[in-house]
Structure 1
Amino acid sequence: MTTSIDELQKIELAVPKADITLKNIINTLPKECFQQNRRKAWSKAAINLLLVSLGYAGIALSPWYLLPLAWIFTGTGLTGFFVIAHDCGHRSFAKRRWVNDLVGHLFMLPLIYPFHSWRIKHNHHHAYTNNLDRDNAWRPITPQEYESWGNIRQKVFQGFAVNRLWWLGSIAHWAMTHFNLDKFAAKDRSKVKLSITVVAIFAAIAFPTLIATVGLWGLVKFWLMPWLVYHFWMSTFTYVHHTAPDIAFVEDSKWQVAIAQLSGTVHCNYPCWVEFLCHDINVHVPHHISTAIPSYNLRLAYDSIQQNWGLYTHDECNFSWALMKQITDTCHLYKPETGYQSFDDYLALK
C-alpha cells in the first residue's frame, strides 16, 4: 500500500510514536539478516572483479557498434564495485575495520571516489533520511529555497529537472562534495585527506598510463564511458530510492525516524542482470532500517519487513522509462504541506 503524506499524518496520530521505533523493527528481523558470511562477501567481490575484467576485455575486442553494450555491462559491473565499497563503508563487509577500509578504498579507485569522504556523508544521509532540513542525498528543493537563488542558478536547476538530467546528479554531488574539506568536520578531515590522496595518486598514474598506451580515445573508451554508465546507475538508484510523487519529506521538528525509513524508501525492481551485478542494492528498505545488514541478506530482511511492517512501506515499482518520466515530470519542487509540484504547477500558482 502506498503511504501518502495525509496517510502518514494519520498514522502518526493513530499509533504512539514509542510503538514505531527502529529497535522494534529490527527486533522482528531474523537474526540471520545480520550475520556476516565471509564466503559470500569475498565470492561476490571476486565474481565482480571477474565480470568487470571480462567487460574491459569486451571493450578492447568489440567493434565500434558493440562498444555501447560493452560500456553498459562494464559500467554496471563498476556499480557493483561501489556496492561492495558501500558494504565496507557500513562495516558489513568484514568484521575488521581495516579490512573494510582497505577493500573500500580499492573498489572505489576506478571510480575516482574518495572512500572516507563518501562514507561520512552517506552515514549522515542514513541518520536523517527524508528529513527536509537535514538529509543530504537528493533532498528536494522548496519553492522558498528556489526563490532565494539567483537567476542563473534557478535556470540551471530548472533545466536539470525539466530536461530529465537526473543521471548527472551524482557527478555533481561527487565533484562538489567529496573533495571539499570545508564540508567535513575537523575530526574527519585527516581521513578525508587520506582518501583524496589515494584517488589522486591512482588518477595520476592510471590516466597518463592510459593516454600513453592507448591515447586520448583509449581514456574515453576504457574509463570515461564506463564511468558515465556507473554514474547513471548511481544517480538512478539514489533518485528512485527516495523520490516519488507521494514520498513525504518532513521538516525536522515533525520528522520521525522509523516512519521515514520505512515509508520514505522505495523498493524498485530492475532487470535481473542489473540486480545481480549491483548486489541487490535496489532492495533498499532493510538497508535503511539497519546498515549492519550485508547486501547478500537484504532480500531476507525485506521479506520480513513486508510481513511485519508492510502497512508503512511504499508500493514496489518496476524500473522503466514510464517511471522515470513520472518522477521527472512531477517531482520538481517540494512543499511540506502538499508534497511535490512540477514547475508548471509552481508557475501557475505564482
Structure 2
Amino acid sequence: MTTSTINSQKPSDDLGDSKLKLQDIIKTLPKECFELNHRKAWTGAVINVLMVGLGYASIAFSPWYLLPLAWVFAGTALTGFFVIGHDCGHRSFAKSRWVNDLVGHLAFMPLIYPFHSWRIKHNHHHLHTNKLDEDNAWHPIRPEFYETWPKLDKSVFEVLMRKRLWWLSSILHWANLHFDWRQYRKQDQSDVKLSVAVVVTFAAIAFPTLIITTGVWGFIKFWFVPWLVYHFWMSTFTLVHHTDPEIPFLPGSEWNAAIAQLSGSVHCDYPRWVEFLCHDINVHVPHHVSTAIPSYNLRLAHRSLQENWGSYLREERFSLSLMRRITDQCHFYSLGEGYFSFKDYYARK
C-alpha cells in the first residue's frame, strides 16, 4: 500500500477518538471544489450517453470473439450512468432538486436501480462510514453475528469470499435493500415506492420488447451481461473503497467522522479508461469529506487533501494482488484484532 506522507499531520493508523472535525478538513479545500458547473455536468452526461450507445453498437456489430470486449466496455459505460445518478442523489449534479431527481431516475432506469431507495440508504452510509454495525454500504462480518446466521446465508457468504466472487455482492445488496419500502421510514416510503414503480415499469416495457425483437439471447447479450459487468464494478469499487486489512471499523463511542472519512476510505487508481467512463468515482476520499463535491471536481479536491492531509490518506493501485489481499484476509472482523480469514476462524473453533 502506498500512503502519502506529504505533511506531518497525525499518522493515519490512529483512527480513534480525535478532536479533529470534518469542518476543519473542508475549510482547507479550494472553494472551486464545491462549485456546480452546469456545462461540465451536462457534457459529462451527454458523453456518457454516447459511450453507452457506442457500447451497444459494439455489441450489435462485433463478431462473437469480440463480444467480451464489447460487454466490458458497455457495462463500464453503464457504471458511468450510476455515477451521474450518484451525483444527483447527493444534489451535486444540478441546483434544482427536481432536476436531480429526474436525471437520477433516468440514469438509474437501465440499471433497474430504484433511485430514492439507493439515495436514502447511501446517505446513511456517509453519515456512518466505517462505524461498526452502522455502515450499511460495506461492513465487516463479526464472528459472533456470523454464528447466528442461517446455514444458507453462511454458505453464500463463504462461497462469495473464498471463491473470489465478490463481484456478485452488489447484486445481493441491490436485491435485498432497495425494493422493500417497509424498510424505510414512513416519510420516505412514498419516494421509495415511486422509484420502485419507475424501474418496474421500465423493465415491464423494455425487457419484453427486447425479447420479442431480439430473442432471449438478445436479452442476455444486450442487457444482462452488461448489467453483470456494471455490478462487477459496483462491487469492486465499494469493496476497495472501504476494505483493507489496515482499516479499522470502530464503535460509535470511539468513532470520529473526520478520521473515518479521511482514512477509512481508500483512493484507488484504475486504468484511465475506467476512470473516464466512471467519472472518477475512484477518487473517493474527497467525496467522503464532502458529498457536495461534484464528480468533475474530485481530482482537484484530492490534490488539496494530499497537500494538507497527506499522512491520513490511503492510496492503492487496482491489481489482482490487491483483490487477492482483500478477499484472502478480510472475512471477519473483531474489535481490537481487526480482520482475519476463514482459515483463522476455523482454526479457533
TM-score normalised to the size of structure 1? 0.95
Which secondary structure does the structure 1 equivalent of 2:253 belong to?
Answer: helix
Tell me by how many angstroms 1:12 deviates: 4.7
Report runs of 4+ in structure 1 exceeding 4 Å deviation: 7-13
Tell me by how many angstroms 1:9 deviates: 7.0
Contact kept? 2:167, 2:236, Cα under 8 Å: yes
Structure 2 partner of 1:344: 343
Structure 2 partner of 1:175: 175
Tell me by how many angstroms 1:266 deviates: 0.4
Contact kept? 2:16, 2:254, Cα under 8 Å: no
Structure 2 partner of 1:232: 232
Match for 2:67: what amino acid?
L
Tell me by how many angstroms 1:257 deviates: 0.8
Structure 2 partner of 1:147: 147
Structure 2 partner of 1:23: 23
Match for 2:327: what amino acid?
T
Per-residue Cα deviation, 1:184-226 (whole angstroms, up to 9, x for no partner) = 1111000000000011110010001001100110000100010
Structure 2 partner of 1:281: 281
Contact kept? 2:108, 2:114, Cα under 8 Å: yes
Tell me by how many angstroms 1:117 deviates: 0.4
Question: Which segment is superposed worse, 143-152 or 267-276?
Answer: 143-152
Over 3 Å counting, the alpha-carbon distance change for 1:12 and 1:232 in structure 2 is closer
Q: CA separation in 1, counterparts of 2:249 and 2:16?
A: 14
Q: CA separation in 1, counterparts of 2:328 and 2:189?
A: 39
Which one has a larger percent helix, Structure 1 or Structure 2?
1
Match for 1:200: what amino acid?
V
Mapping 1:313-324, distance limit 5 Å: 313-314=313-314, 316-324=315-323
Tell me by how many angstroms 1:347 deviates: 1.4
Match for 1:246: what amino acid?
E
Contact kept? 1:133, 1:252, Cα under 8 Å: no
Which secondary structure does the structure 2 equivalent of 1:28 belong to?
Answer: coil
Q: CA separation in 1, counterparts of 2:291 and 2:157?
A: 32
Contact kept? 2:269, 2:317, Cα under 8 Å: yes
Mapping 1:284-299, distance limit 5 Å: 284-299=284-299
Question: Greater relative contact order (Cα 8 A, min sep 6): structure 1 or 2?
Answer: 2
Over 3 Å counting, the alpha-carbon distance change for 1:47 and 1:294 in structure 2 is same
Task: Say whether residues 1:186 and 2:153 are aligned partners.
Answer: no
Tell me by how many angstroms 1:271 deviates: 0.2
Tell me by how many angstroms 1:153 deviates: 2.1
Q: CA separation in 1, counterparts of 2:15 and 2:239?
A: 25
Tell me by how many angstroms 1:62 deviates: 0.8
Tell me by how many angstroms 1:155 deviates: 2.1
Contact kept? 1:26, 1:289, Cα under 8 Å: yes
Per-residue Cα deviation, 1:228-279 (whole angstroms, up to 9, x for no partner) = 0000000000000000111111112211111111100000000000000000
Structure 1 partner of 2:305: 305
Q: CA separation in 2, counterparts of 1:11 and 1:208?
A: 51
Q: CA separation in 1, counterparts of 2:279 and 2:152?
A: 39
Q: CA separation in 2, counterparts of 1:160 and 1:83?
A: 25
Per-residue Cα deviation, 1:34-85 (whole angstroms, up to 9, x for no partner) = 0010110000000010111011111111111111111100000000000000
Contact kept? 1:130, 1:248, Cα under 8 Å: yes
Structure 2 partner of 1:217: 217
Contact kept? 2:12, 2:313, Cα under 8 Å: no
Which secondary structure does the structure 2 equivalent of 1:268 belong to?
Answer: strand
Match for 1:320: what amino acid?
S
Tell me by how many angstroms 1:159 deviates: 1.6
Structure 2 partner of 1:332: 331
Match for 1:329: what amino acid?
D
Over 3 Å counting, the alpha-carbon distance change for 1:278 and 1:94 in structure 2 is same
Which secondary structure does the structure 1 equivalent of 2:147 belong to?
Answer: helix
Structure 2 partner of 1:66: 66
Identity value in percent: 65
Structure 1 partner of 2:135: 135
Structure 2 partner of 1:95: 95
Contact kept? 2:129, 2:261, Cα under 8 Å: yes
Which secondary structure does the structure 2 equivalent of 1:254 belong to?
Answer: coil
Q: CA separation in 1, counterparts of 2:313 and 2:262?
A: 5
| RMSD of aligned Cα (Å) | 1.4
Question: Which segment is superposed worse, 143-152 or 45-54?
Answer: 143-152
Which secondary structure does the structure 2 equivalent of 1:253 belong to?
Answer: coil
Structure 2 partner of 1:41: 41
Q: CA separation in 1, counterparts of 2:157 and 2:31?
A: 44
Over 3 Å counting, the alpha-carbon distance change for 1:10 and 1:128 in structure 2 is closer
Match for 1:180: what amino acid?
D
Match for 1:279: what amino acid?
H
Q: CA separation in 1, counterparts of 2:191 and 2:153?
A: 32
Structure 1 partner of 2:84: 84
